A and B are shown apart, each in its own frame.
Chain A
Amino acid sequence: MAQVSLQQVAKTYDKHTVFSGLDLHVRDGECFTLLGPSGCGKTVTLRLIAGFEQPTAGTVAIGPRTVSDPARNLAEPPEARRIGVVFQDYAVWPHRTVLENVAYPLMIQNIPRPELTERVRLAIEQVNLTGLEARLPGQLSGGQQQRVALARALVSRPEVMLLDEPLCNLDAHLREEMRFEIKELQRTTGVTILYVTHDQEIALAISDRLAVMDRAGNIRQTGTPEDIFERPADPFVFAFMGVANFIPVALEGGQAVLPGQDRPLDLDHGLAHTLSTPPPGTQFLACRPSDLEPVRESAQIFGRVRRKNLLGAEIDLRVDLGGTEVRVRQDTRQALEQGLIFEEGDTCGLKLHAAHWFDHAAENGGAA
């Protein structure tokens, strides 16, 4: 098995620079996700590792081998890199049956017949396609084609698998099932997986570690799903991981005053005890809609309900705090039981459960 590492990689097309100094280290045997908005350079990163593109500068290494190094004119061709790739558009060969697609990498390696048959059978079984071996891709659903691509990438037992948004064309149910299967495959085979996606839910669910990339191709934070979700390095990461409120704050004697409030935010009461006092230079308080709980008593923040949407199990409230609109999520059943149903125009008290201090807001202002 092998780790993958990119050091100071730059990639430029004509005039367009995708990234200028990318560092990325995927550890041996882990499931690593590169998460970022579309167009940020995720596919380019995979293509650089697979060898379909060469970096403008910097090095790419797989295991102990450096495979790309323009400074030394080194560019190992894709077929020599021993990787499995699952493409964004599946890239299953339409003129070959499921069996022929999956057997292809082994045929190229001249694996003897009995072993080939056994390994192909196993790979097809692993992705739950047994029985469909003789079908042509045209006779398969999108999800099944995806699994053919997965089996084809797996069958040669590569050290590294690169997966490019393999689930984004599937429906929600299938996506969940496949996500589980990929994770399971990784556990049983121990292959190193580099998975790229723009979907933060999949990234959180599947990864051992993940890196968040911004539009300019810079990695903003690398860490475990808990790190990224609980301790975002900056507003971009926070906003990218889910719906976010950025509430401007004014600092008065080291205490934060939120818009439309007549006293500073009381951090000692309520459930916001995890929150430290705002560091100097703080401009914004960031929180998720579910971090704000509407209450009748011991409220820390007061606002006026602008809009209320019943979404079923949850209620989505838009609350005005002195001109700043914040989103609040309320559990419908709890709200009914406790008589906490607010109507548009009502004044509403809020309790803050968790939040982050930032010195600027996210540039895109919200979730991906």
Chain B
Amino acid sequence: MSFLPDMRKWGAAEIVLALSILILVVVVAVPVALIFITAFFVDGAFNLADVTAILTQRDTYEALKNSIIIAFGVTVISTIIGVFFAWLVSRTDLPFKGTMKVLFLLPFMLPSFIGALAWKMLLSPRSGYINKMLMGLFDLQDPVFDIYGYWGIILVESMYLFPFVFIQVCGALERMDPTLEESARIAGAGLTTITRKITIPLIMPSILAGALLIALYSLAHFGVPAILGTEAGIYNIPTKIYEKIHQSAGSFKAIRAGTVLASLLVVSAAIILYVQSLVLKSGRFQIIAGKSVRPVALKLRGFKIPLLIFSAVYLLVTVILPTVTIFLVGSLKTYGLSLDWANMTLENYEYILFTWRLTRDAIFNSVYLALSAAFVTMLAGVMISYVIVKMKPRGKWLLEFLGVLPFSLPGTVIALGVILTWSGRFGVNLYNTAWIIFVAYIARYMAFSLKSNSAALEQVHDSLVEASRACGATQWQAMRHVVIPLARPGMVAAFFLIFLPALRELTTSVLLYGPTTRTIGVAIYTLNEDGETVYAAALASIALVIIVLGQIGIKKLTQARAEGV
């Protein structure tokens, strides 16, 4: 029941409810609705002919095809990598398992577009450092590697996305009841049979759930294809939308074509999430939770050291090498010089941090936008979750529906929707201001906030609040003394779940930035496009430093909290 006794028609409860609905409608529902309306209606009439025309145009059709090819490749490869390493750190006697498990999460910290930038510097056919080195070493005429193309995109994305599967599968392997495997062993099954008949089916739902998450992410991913695909004429849906809108300087025709493609993204995302929820539901009954009993680890014997070396090399190549490259290139006097000590300078950093307006603005914008979006989205999320979880009002289904909607909205789609909503159509024109990115971030990260806050509020049983009322506390005191303290961990989590990704955001802001409202992501991307590779790398290094500091900050904060309580 509600905490709020039945009150007059417009009591606090109704106001909070109305406000929650209003926020979700304005921030989420209207932009999405406008995308579909713009895509399927012309002059107020349903128009499918135009949609078909747009979809059968060669470049849009190609973009769709490429999105699917890339998403498929990335999903397959990162699933293989993720499952393999998850198995290695949870089910074998690999040395330093615990440390390795933490290290395999590092790729998450490296934004994939910065990774793509690094790999471009190493493997681009003309100027990639590795290519140049190999050509010099073996006196070759042609470059060995060409990062521009499907394989480059797929491999680079996989490098940074596999932790999605890794985390899911590690979790499943750890939660799995070891007696299931043991009873099979007692029944005389060999290890391969157990793996094939027991282990794999049990962790299959987790594998699929992680894989679908990757498919969803890759399908709508902008950064890597933008940096590694455009050069080779390969566009996926987000990069195509960006190209169309940019080339035509935001003409309605381009936006309309964009909305048709965006509708495709929304529909595929919805299907993927639906399938994922089915998969997770079927998995819930199979993995028996609880028990901290560790299953018997497989003895790697002779493979122990080679596999450890393999894992270390994998991390070196995918994480350390690109990071070092970014820092080194960022220190070069001019791009193309050899990575010699003599060619290094710190002036680049000084220039972009203190002198150059463009980069200074970008850093300021990103930090400011990430902080404020995280704060506002967290607060709105607490309020909406409170309404959904605790007040359970009539019309709650509408909130729940609007609340899950953002889960299925790729960044590109949100950007388009926000353009359609906030470019003067309703009397407010935020185009080319930082506000439009701010609203977009709220829409984009609302899902995180709702998830984290509802989970926390579910834990606050009604009786805890009622106990406080029975002790003489007013409704507001009960809120302050019981609900907020208990919901605070969820709020803190929501804040950081939004702040960190918002800090490095590219997909959404690249469609929304104006002359003075570049974010760090946009600045790195545009500098790279303009051939300012060294400055792009220097700014990327600074971004990496901020991200790492942010992560350490969270770690410190959550540890202090864990000890404090």
Is B one of A's binding partners? Answer: yes
Give the interface of A toward B (CB within 8 A): 50-54, 75, 77-79, 81-85, 87-89, 91-95, 104-105, 108-109, 136, 149, 152-153, 156
Q: Which of B470, B481, B485, B565 contacts A78 (CB 8 A)?
A: B470
Instruction: Report yes or no: B466 in contact with A105, Cβ–Cβ below 8 A.
Output: no
Does B470 lie within 8 Å of A83, measured CB to CB?
yes
| Cβ-defined contact, A52 with B461, below 8 A | no
Whose C-beta in chain B lies nearest to the C-beta of A136? B565
Mostly helix, strand, loop or mixed at chain A's interface? loop
Q: Which of A77, A88, A104 contacts B471 (CB 8 A)?
A: A104
The interface-forming segment of B68-76, B327-335, B472-480 is B472-480
B466 touches A79 (CB 8 A): no
A87 to B461, CA, bound (A): 12
- Bin chain B's interface residue count: 20 to 34
User: Min CB distance, A1 to chain B, in Å?
Assistant: 18
Question: Which residues of A sit under 8 angstroms from B464, Cβ to Cβ?
Answer: 91, 93
Chain A neighbourhood of B471, CB < 8 A: 79, 104-105, 108, 152, 156
Besides A53-B1, A94-B486, A152-B471, 16 new A-B residue pairs in contact (Cβ under 8 A), listed by A number: A51-B469, A52-B466, A54-B5, A77-B469, A78-B470, A79-B471, A81-B470, A82-B472, A83-B470, A87-B467, A92-B467, A93-B486, A104-B471, A108-B471, A109-B472, A136-B565
Give A52 to B1 CA distance when docked, in angstroms: 9
Q: With the chains together, A75 CA to B8 CA distance in Å? A: 13
Residues B472 and A93 in contact, CB atoms below 8 Å apart = no
CB contact under 8 A between A93 and B470, given known A52-B1, A108-B477 = no
Given contacts A87-B463, A93-B464, A95-B486, contact A79 B1 (CB under 8 A): no
Whether the pair B472, A79 counts as a contact (CB closer than 8 A) is yes
Task: Tell me which residues across on chain A come within 8 A of B477, comparing CB atoms.
Answer: 108
Could you tell me the distance between the alpha carbons of A88 and B462 in the complex, rounded to whole angstroms? Answer: 12
Within the complex, the shortest CB–CB distance from A320 to chain B, in Å, comes to 45
A84 and B470 within 8 A (CB): yes
CB of B563 within 8 Å of the partner chain? no
B563 to chain A, nearest CB (A): 13
Q: How far is the CA of A84 from the CA of B470 in the complex (A)?
A: 6
- B461 to A75, Cβ gap below 8 A? no
Task: Give B437-473 interface residues, CB cut-off 8 Å to A.
Answer: 461, 463-464, 466-473
B472 CB, nearest partner CB in chain A, Å: 4
A87 touches B565 (CB 8 A): no
Given contacts A95-B486, A156-B472, contact A78 B466 (CB under 8 A): yes
Q: Which 5 A-B pairs have the closest CB atoms?
A: A105-B471, A91-B463, A91-B467, A85-B470, A78-B469
Find the A residue at minimum CB distance from B464: A91
The closest CB in chain A to the CB of B485 belongs to A95
Contact of A93 among B1, B5, B467, B475 (CB under 8 A): B467
| Chain A residue contacts of B474, Cβ below 8 A | 77, 79
Cβ contacts A to B, 9 pairs, < 8 Å: A50-B470, A52-B469, A77-B5, A78-B466, A78-B470, A79-B470, A79-B473, A85-B467, A104-B468
- Give the CA-CA distance A50 to B462 in the complex, in Å: 14
The distance from the CB of A90 to the nearest CB of chain B, in whole angstroms, is: 8
A61–B477 alpha-carbon span in the complex (Å): 25
Which residues from A are CB-within-8-Å of B481? 104
Within 8 A of A (CB), among B471-515: 471-475, 477, 481-482, 485-486
Measured CB to CB, the nearest residue on chain B to A81 is B470
Query: Shortest CB–CB separation between residue B296 and chain A, in angstroms?
Result: 32
Chain A residues whose C-beta falls within 8 Å of the C-beta of B139 in the assembled complex: none
Most buried by A among B6, B472, B475, B486: B472
Chain A residues contacting B485 (CB-CB under 8 Å) are 95
A119, B273: Cα distance in complex, Å: 56
A51 to B5, CA, bound (A): 9
Q: In the complex the two chains form, what is the Cα distance from A95 to B480 in whole Å?
A: 13
> Can you name the residue of chain B whose Cβ is closest to the Cβ of A105?
B471
Given contacts A53-B1, A94-B486, A108 and B466 within 8 Å (CB-CB): no
- Contact partners of B472 in chain A: CB under 8 A: 79, 82, 105, 108-109, 156
